[in-house]
């Protein structure tokens, strides 16, 4: 008899590893495009190239699938912020943070939209994780405050600084259609990320009067 997935906490088969990977990849496609309610298991199963009951053998509910997906992505999503280094100098740190966030918007737009969807809906499934986020941001806000105190950047609210970097970078993933529509077909090539990087670096370097 088949053992329900939740029961076998220890050993995972080769097939399990592979199929779960395929499923989560497909789920990312569908969830990020249509949101949680808008996505259907049949859709995900089709993209994953398997039957619905087969998919439900690996993730027993749609909810479980969504949760697994978000948990996995959440980790890598915050990596750029974690790398924010107190020892480094503000110019390098802020510039590279913007770069990395922009790269993620360019290379992982589905992940960005998945989160945007989740937050838009009031973060029903990652409420607790938001507390960890708060601690991380608190920590990094302290770093920024130290830079201010040391006179390396001008006085500013570190939280709103971080919010603004999140917003401006993720915008290119979450509002991609709008950005493309406004820039028009000719200027919508990959070059737009370079343009964005240039603009944002200038904005923040001058805006924070970072001493180089």
Partner DNA sequence: TGTAATGTTTACCAACCGGTCAAATTATCC
Partner DNA sequence: GGATAATTTGACCGGTTGGTAAACATTACA
Does position 125 interact with DNA (CB under 7 A)? The reply is no
- Partner from DNA, a copy of itself, none binding residue 142, C-beta < 5-8 Å depending on class: none
Give the pair of three-digit tokens for residue 89: 């100098």
Pick between residue 60 and residue 187 the one whose CB is nearest to DNA: 60
Q: Which of 33, 47, 50, 162 binds DNA (CB under 7 A)?
A: 50
Least distance between a copy of itself and beta carbon 7 (Å): 32
Q: Cα–Cα distance between 191 and 28 in angstroms, integer?
A: 26
CA distances from 132 to 24, 75, 87, 154, 159 (A): 24, 11, 23, 28, 15
- Partner from a copy of itself, DNA, none binding residue 150, C-beta < 5-8 Å depending on class: none
Q: Which of 133, 143, 148, 211 binds a copy of itself (CB under 8 A)?
A: 133
Phi, psi of 121 (to 5 degrees): -80, 10
Q: How many CA atoms lie within 13 A of 174 on its CB side?
A: 17
Does position 121 interact with DNA (CB under 7 A)? The reply is no
Number of residues that bind DNA (CB under 7 A): 25
User: Vertex 72, ends 66 and 77: CA angle to 5°?
Assistant: 115
Q: Cα–Cα distance between 117 and 34 in angstroms, integer?
A: 9
Q: Which of 24, 28, 39, 94 binds DNA (CB under 7 A)?
A: 39
Pick between residue 45 and residue 104 the one whose CB is nearest to DNA: 45
Q: Which of residues 60-89 bind DNA (CB under 7 A)?
A: 60-63
Q: Find how far residue 73's CA is from the centre of its chain.
A: 7
Q: What is the binding site for DNA (CB under 7 A)?
A: 1-3, 8, 11, 13-16, 19, 39-42, 50-54, 56-57, 60-63
């Amino acid at each position: 008899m088949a053992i329900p997935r939740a029961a076998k906490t220890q050993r995972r088969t080769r097939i399990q590893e592979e199929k779960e990977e395929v499923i989560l990849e497909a789920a990312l496609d569908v969830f990020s495009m249509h949101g949680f309610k808008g996505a259907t298991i049949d859709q995900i199963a089709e993209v994953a190239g398997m039957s619905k009951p087969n998919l439900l053998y690996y993730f027993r509910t749609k909810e479980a699938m969504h949760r697994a997906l978000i948990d996995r992505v959440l980790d890598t999503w915050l990596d750029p912020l974690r790398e924010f280094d107190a020892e480094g100098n503000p110019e390098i740190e802020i510039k590279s943070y913007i770069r990395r966030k922009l790269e993620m918007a360019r290379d992982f737009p589905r992940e960005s939209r998945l989160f945007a969807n989740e937050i838009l809906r009031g973060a029903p499934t990652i409420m607790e994780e938001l507390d960890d986020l708060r601690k991380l941001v608190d920590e990094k806000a302290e770093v920024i405050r130290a830079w201010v105190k040391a006179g390396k950047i001008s006085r500013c609210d570190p939280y709103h600084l971080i919010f603004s970097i999140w917003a401006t970078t993720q915008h290119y993933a979450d509002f991609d259609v709008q950005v493309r529509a406004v820039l028009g077909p000719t200027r919508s090539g990959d070059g737009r990320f370079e343009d964005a990087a240039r603009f944002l670096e200038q904005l923040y370097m001058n805006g924070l009067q970072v001493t180089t």
